[in-house]
Structures are given as structure tokens and as C-alpha cells.
Structure 1
Amino acid sequence: MAKNKGGSSLIVKLLVSIVIGIIIGLVVPKSVMVAISTIKYFLGQIIFFTIPLIILGFIAPAIAELKSNASRLMTITILLAYLSSVGAAAFAMISGYAIIPHLSIAANLGNLREVPNPLIELSIPQIFSVMSALVLALMVGLAAANTKAETAKKLLQEFQKMVLYIVQSIIIPILPVFIASTFAGLAYEGSITKQLPVFLQIIVLVILGHWIWLAVLYSLGGVISGINPLNVLKHYGPAYMTAVGTMSSAATLPIALECIHKNNEIPRHIQDFVIPLCNTVHLCGSVLTETFFVMAVSKILYGTMPPLTQMITFIFLLGLFGVAAPGVPGGTVMASLGLITSVLGFDQAGVAMVLSIFALQDSFGTACNVTGDGAIALMVTGIAQRFMKEEMEYEKPGTDKTKEGLKRGEKAYES
């Protein structure tokens, strides 16, 4: 999900790089392909080196802040966002095992040309492994929160800014070149022309999956809250289309608030708290997309889908990344590159293909994320009505508690 204002321009650059890469791969001789392979290898080393830094730089400070500042309402909202993401990933996984084997994926690729090896292979090993980075981030974040280590929290925030600068100033600019070189290799060997039709099928299937998951979320929201979910969903058309057009949940937030405000059954203070918070932590559409895509790419490149045990591990960790690391430019897929490589064992070609096909439908994933926030607001309303009576008192208009509820929403948006 694109979170930064330059998200749409990045998508355009990635799409252009795919086209340029394919054209180059179809026409260049072997001597030029050696240089392209060398560029791809070097850029891949840089990208993979930063993965543990991204994990530590975003997971640790996010956990530290959420743990220390969480009210009961925030805790419930974040938990529902996590369960929604894991549920969406599980739905995508089950669908992938059922559908992907029946897609028209070319099985016989025996006539492919061999891509030449890089001219120079300069290895840039990671400082520590991906799983070590994840465990370290969890421990440091929890420790900083529970010991009230304010200095450590500030250091984590400063480190996060540094990692964000690395991503924005180094990784994002070289990403189109890395994508182009990867697709040049696929076109050179001949596999891309055989597999292009299945890419289009996968994108359509994922968009249908978004709509099905939204139906599930709103149905659950209606059951939990006792409110007709259509009374909320019917107002979300402008927000959905804005997300499709801007590819940015942040840019869609004002429209999403305007849409949810048209419903009078969800208390206003819950609307103004849950929607900005979920705008950051609820990425069900992106998680669903990535889960289905990694299974399809694995089938295309490696001839088989990841085993069930690996996929279960992947989706539970992916849900955590979706909640705790939403600020990484490029969305969930950028934050979870470490999972793709360590849990699923993808190589550079696999990572590049996941990034590329994810970019092709990024706007629809963002639209699913934004629209799903309304269902979370329904669930929070139902839970608050049953177990959190004091939170429901904020709904009385014109009272100090109403203002306090609105301040909570503002703080959630700022964070």
C-alpha cells in the first residue's frame, strides 16, 4: 500500500521499468546481458542488505510507542486490525492452494536461453539475519515500552528516521533499475512471454478476493455491532475510488472520514478515533494480495508453491508486519521482503517479480484497506457497547468527553 505522496509516481516508474526491461531483454546480445546481470546482482545485494535494518528500524519503535500509549480502545482496534490481516492472508492462502494449480502456468520451459552470470560478484552480507532482526526488534520494543526508557525510545525514533532516509534516498531510486534488469533477464531467457497471460489472471483474482474479504468483514461487523453494515458500506464509494486514483491511504483519509460521518449509528468519537488509526495499521487488502502473489510467483518461477507449514508461519508474521511497519514506502511488500527471502526462500528474481506484480494492483489493495476500516469501526462499536461503557459515554455531543474522543482520533492520525 502506498503511504507516501510519491507513491503514484513510484508505481509509474516501476511499470515503465518493467516495459523497458522486457524490451531490452528481447533485443540485446549476450555481451550486453552480462552487464545487465552484473547491475542486477549489485543492486540486489544493496537491497537485501537493508532488509534487517528496515525490520529493526520500524518494528521496534512502533511496538514501543503502541505499547506505552495504548488505551483499551486502541488495543482492541489494533488487535482487530491484526486479526483482519491474518484472516485475509489465510483466505488468500486457502484460495491459492485451490486455484493456482489450475491456472495456465507454462509447465514446459525447456527451450529457454541461459542468462549469463554477472561479470563481478561482490557479496554484501547482512549485518544479521532477518529472523534475528525481527526477534531483536520485538525484544527491544517491548523492553523500551515496559521499562519506560524514554531515551531508548527517542534513539529508536531517530534510528527509524535514518532507515527511512536510506529507503527513500537509496532503495526507492534504485528499485526501478533493479526491476528493469530482472525483467530483462526474464525476457532474455524467454519465460516472460510465456507467463504474461497468467499475470493478468492473478491480478483479476486478487481484486475479486478483495471484494469477498470486504463482504466477510462487513458481515462480521454487522453481527458484532447489531448495525446494518450496508448503512456504512453504501457511503464508502468515494473513498474507494479516491484510493484507487491516488494509491495512497493517507491522501484518502479525509474522504474516508467524510464517508463514515454519514452514518449516525457509529458514535462520532469512535469514527474519529478508529478510522485514522486503521488508516495506518489495517492493511488487509495488501496482506491478502501479497500472500496470493507469493504463492503464484513461487509456482511460476520454482514450479511449486510453498508448503503449508511455511505459509502458516509467513501469514502470522506478515500480519505483524502489516500492523507494526506501515510507514515503509512501497507498503507491506517492502516491509516484508525479509519474510519472503527467509521464510519462503525466494531469490532476487522472486523478490523482483513479487514487487512488480504487487505494484500493478497496488491501488486496489489500498482501496480494500481503506474500505475495510469502516468494518473495523463497526466491530469496535459493538465491543465498546458490551464491555467498555465508559468509552461509549464520549458519544454525547457537545460534552468534554466528546472533545477528548476527538483528540484521541487526532493523536492516532498524527502517530
Structure 2
Amino acid sequence: MRLILKIVAGILLGMVIGSFAPGMGAEWLVRLMVTVQTMINELIVFVIPLIVFFFITSGISSLPDQAGKMLGKTVGISYFSTVLAVSMAFWIASPLIPSLVGQELPPVPAGQRAFAPFLTLEIPPLMGVMTALALSFVFGLSIQKLKLVSIKSFADEGKSVVELFLGSVVIPLLPFYIAGEFAKLAAEGQAVRMLGTFFSVLCLAVCLHFLWLSVLYTLAGIKSGKPPWKILATMFPAYLTALGTMSSAATIPVTLRQAKKAGVPPHVADFTIPLCANIHLSGSAITISTCSLALMFLTNHHVPASFDAFLPFILVLGIVMVAAPGAPGGAVLSALGILQSMLHFSDAQCALMIALYIAQDSFGTACNVTGDGALSILVSPKNERAKQ
């Protein structure tokens, strides 16, 4: 929650400086903030392929091979839950977003002063995002099949290094990153309009979270023979806990306890809940897709004309969510690579995506962990449902 407050403070600081500094002859202050934002952006672009490679490699190589059928079923259901959730979000959000957003942002006047950074430092990433994704599957599956202990240790330790870098450097710098973008937007006269759009889009995303949870728990109710509303009410303490922690991993004890109360067999819950906390991010994916559609429409940036045009992004987003770090904002940082490579997002659009996402991160996380309870019921064999 402190991160959300810092992001809000960064937005307000950027708007104040961008609104008043140019008129006071202090354009240099806006350029200084844009310079800081540009440097932070280079760090983010550099670390994205590392997130994808180390997190997915470590995740695949750590999957318990003795689980067999249950493992495949859990991973498959988790992936399709994320893909179907984003597909639902596209079908519902696409016709609604034009009315929520209104007209696209007007172009910056031709005579407007350009607020370019004082200097730029290019830090090229070690590999492209899609290369990192393919390589992570090659290494992850090989490590698990061949029991390559030393390479697995490298993947796990690399994941720890990236986690430390994210938690100690990148995430603490995000408020300054957002402040630089909003300083530039305010100086160009577009910040107020952008904030109005933010609120409408975030409300839509939260509504889509609850709609998807209703779908999951309807299926869980059919599978278990229990009223869906009763199962969802049992899982609601996990939802409330996730609102405060903004972390699926930190909520695992509560999610596990409530899943068992909802009738999931203990041995199934003990396996599926920790696993789904890392691979099932349907709520986060709904937010990322909804916000990306809104930004594309707002900036008139290659808005997908049909579901077919957006489907490749949906399918890859479901895979990339597996690589999402457990830190606040980790899901959107993992998705930035495919937003840039597949939807051709600019650095400015990526900065706005981060601000939009983190503003609702607690709701997305709450949707993720609450959905884990429904997935555990769907994985459970019918003849092994726990007695209540």
C-alpha cells in the first residue's frame, strides 16, 4: 500500500512541476525529471528478459515430476483460466472503452517545446523477450528431465538476483519514473485528461475481476455440487487478505485454510494453492489487457480491429504471467516486453501502464488468489472431495 501512495505522490508531483515550471522559465526542471525517467526506463528494459528467463526457467524446473496428472491438470487449467479471462475482458471492454475514454488525446501543438532528456544512457538487454521466453522453456524442461542440479542452481540463484534488483532498485524507483512521465504530460496539457481516463478504466477492470470470479465459482459449484455463492463466501477472507498484502505468496496461508474449509481435499489444496499462487494470475492479466486496450484507443495506437488480431498477445500473456515476480507490480513489469514487441508500445505508454496497473494491484492480486480456490475445486477428483 505504501507503493500505491508513492505512485500517487509521484503523479501529483509530476503534474505540479509540469503545469507550472514551463511558465516560470524552469523548463530545465521538466527536462531533468524526463532525464531521470529515461534512465530508469533503460534499467527496466534491460531487466525484462532476465525476469522472463530466470523466473520461467526456475518455475518449470521446480515443478514436482512425481505429481504427474495433477500437475498437468493444474497448470493447464491455470493457463486456460488466464487466457479465457483475458478473452472475456476483450469482448466486454472493447465496445465499452470508446465511451469511457472519449476522444483520443489531441496531438501536441507543432510549436510546443520538446522536453527531451539532457542525456541518455543506452543499456541494451542481453536478449529479446521472445528469445528469453523460448530459451526458458528449453532450459526449464531440460533441467527437470535430466536433473541438472548445477544449472538449476544457477537458474534459482539468478531468480534471486533479479528479485533483489527489482525489490531494491527498480520498484523503489517507479514513483520517480511515473513522476517524469506525468511532468511531461502536464507540460503538454494532457495529464488531466489522462487521470480522468485512469479512474474509468480501473473501475471497469475491477468489475471484470468479479465477473470472472463468478464464472470460476459457477464452474466450481457445478463440479462440487455446492452453491457457488457459498464457496465464494468461504474464500472471501483470502480476497480481503490479498487486498492488504498485494502478494499472492504472502496470502497462501489464508488461501490454503479457506480452500480446505470450502471442501478441497487437504492433499489437493497443499499442492494446488502454492502452485497456483505462482502461475494463476487471471486478475492481473485482465487488468493488463483492459488497460492496454484503453491506452491504445486513447493514443490512437494500432487498436486491434478484431479478436483475431489480439489473440496472439493473449496467448503469450498467459505464458508470461508465469514469470511474474511476487513483488507489487511484478506482473506488469513481466508483461512490458510483449507490450513493446507485440503491441508496439512506446516507453511513454509503458510508464502509463505501470501507473495504471499498480493503482489497482491489490484488486488484481485479490482476484488471483480467490480464483485459486475455484481452480483447486476443479482439479479435485469428484470422489475425493473433503467432508465439511
Return the TM-score normalized by structure 1. Answer: 0.85
Q: Counterpart of 2:274?
A: 276
Partners of 1:333 and 1:111 in 2: how far apart?
27
Aligned to 1:95: 92
Q: Which residue is equivalent to 1:57?
A: 54
Amino acid at match of 1:190: G
Aligned to 1:206: 205
CA distance in 2 between counterparts of 1:244 and 1:158 reads: 30
- Structure 2: distance between partners of 1:245 and 1:167: 20
CA contact (8 A) 1:115 1:188 kept: no
Partner of residue 34 from structure 1, selected from 31, 34, 49: 31
Count residues with an aligned counterpart: 381
- Determine if contact 1:82/1:320 at 8 Å carries over to the other structure: yes
Q: Per-residue deviation at 1:153?
A: 0.9
Greater shift, 72-81 or 341-350, is seen at 72-81
Q: Deviations over 1:200-226 (max 9, x none)?
A: 111111111011101111112222333
Over residues 219-243 of structure 1, what are the superposed CA-to-partner deviations in whole Å (9 max), with x where a residue is unaligned?
1222233333233112223222222
| 2:346 alignment partner in structure 1 | 347
CA contact (8 A) 1:85 1:287 kept: yes
Relative to structure 1, the CA distance from residue 92 to residue 396 in structure 2 (aligned partners, 3 Å threshold; closer, same or farther) is closer
Q: Which moved more, 1:294-303 or 1:77-86?
A: 294-303
1:276 maps to a residue whose letter is: P
Match of 2:296 among 298, 323, 341: 298
Question: For the residues of structure 2 that align with 1:114 and 1:90, how far apart are their CA atoms?
Answer: 41
- Per the alignment, residue 12 of structure 1 pairs with 5
Find the aligned partners of 1:254 and 1:162 in 2 and give their Cα distance.
Answer: 26
Q: How far apart are 1:286 and its partner, in Å? A: 0.7
In 2, the alpha carbon distance for the partners of 1:192 and 1:92 equals 26
1:359 corresponds to which letter in structure 2?
A: I
Q: Any residues of structure 2 matched to 1:360-379 within 5 Å, and which?
A: 360-379=359-378
CA positional deviation for 1:53: 1.4
**Deviations for 1:321-350, whole angstroms, at most 9, x for unmatched residues?**
223444355231112211111111111111
Counterparts of 1:313-352 in structure 2 under 5 Å?
A: 313-327=312-326, 329-352=328-351
Q: Give the match for residue 288 of structure 1.
A: 286
CA distance in 2 between counterparts of 1:86 and 1:364 reads 19
In structure 1, the gaps of 5 or more residues are 1-7, 398-415
**Which amino acid in 2 is paired with 1:61?**
S
Evaluate the alpha carbon distance shift between residue 328 and residue 239 of structure 1 in structure 2; reply closer, same or farther with a 3 A threshold. closer
Structure 1 distance, partners of 2:214, 2:274, is 21
Work out whether residues 63 and 324 of structure 1, in 8 Å CA contact, stay in contact via their aligned partners in 2: no
Question: What is the CA RMSD across the aligned residues, in angstroms?
Answer: 2.3
For 2:73, give the aligned amino acid: I
- Name the CA distance, whole Å, in 1 between partners of 2:178 and 2:67: 39
Flag the 1:220–1:28 CA change in 2: closer, same or farther, 3 A: same
Aligned partner of 2:103: which letter? A
Question: Structure 2 stretches of 5 or more lacking a match?
Answer: none
Asked whether the 8 Å contact 1:283–1:322 carries over to 2, the reply is yes
1:169 alignment partner in structure 2: 168
Q: Comparing 351-360 with 116-125, which one deviates more in the overlay?
A: 116-125
User: Separation in 2 of the partners of 1:67 and 1:272?
Assistant: 13
How far has the Cα of 1:249 moved from its partner?
2.4
- SS of 1:234's equivalent in the other structure is helix
Distance 1:151 1:69, change over 3 A: farther
Q: What is the rounded CA distance, in whole Å, between the counterparts of 2:220 and 2:74 in structure 1?
A: 13
Amino acid at match of 2:148: A
Deviations 1:147-194 (A, max 9, x none): 221221111111111222222222122222111101111111111112
What is the Cα deviation at residue 126 of structure 1? 1.8
Separation (CA, whole Å) in 2 of partners of 1:237 and 1:166 = 33
Alignment-derived partner of residue 359 in structure 1? 358
Identity rate, percent? 37
Structure 2 letter corresponding to 1:63: I
Residues 264-305 of structure 1 show CA distances to partners (whole Å, capped at 9, x for unaligned) of: x43233233322332232211111111111111122234552
CA contact (8 A) 2:54 2:159 kept: yes
Conservation of the 8 A alpha-carbon contact between 1:227 and 1:378 = no
Q: Any residues of structure 2 matched to 1:43-54 within 5 Å, and which? A: 43-54=40-51
How does 1:112-261 map onto structure 2 within 5 Å?
A: 112=109, 113-261=112-260
Distance 2:12 2:177 in 1: 13
Displacement of 1:67 in angstroms is: 6.4
* Aligned partner letter, 2:361: D
Normalised TM-score (structure 2) = 0.91
Helix, strand or coil for the counterpart of 1:101? helix
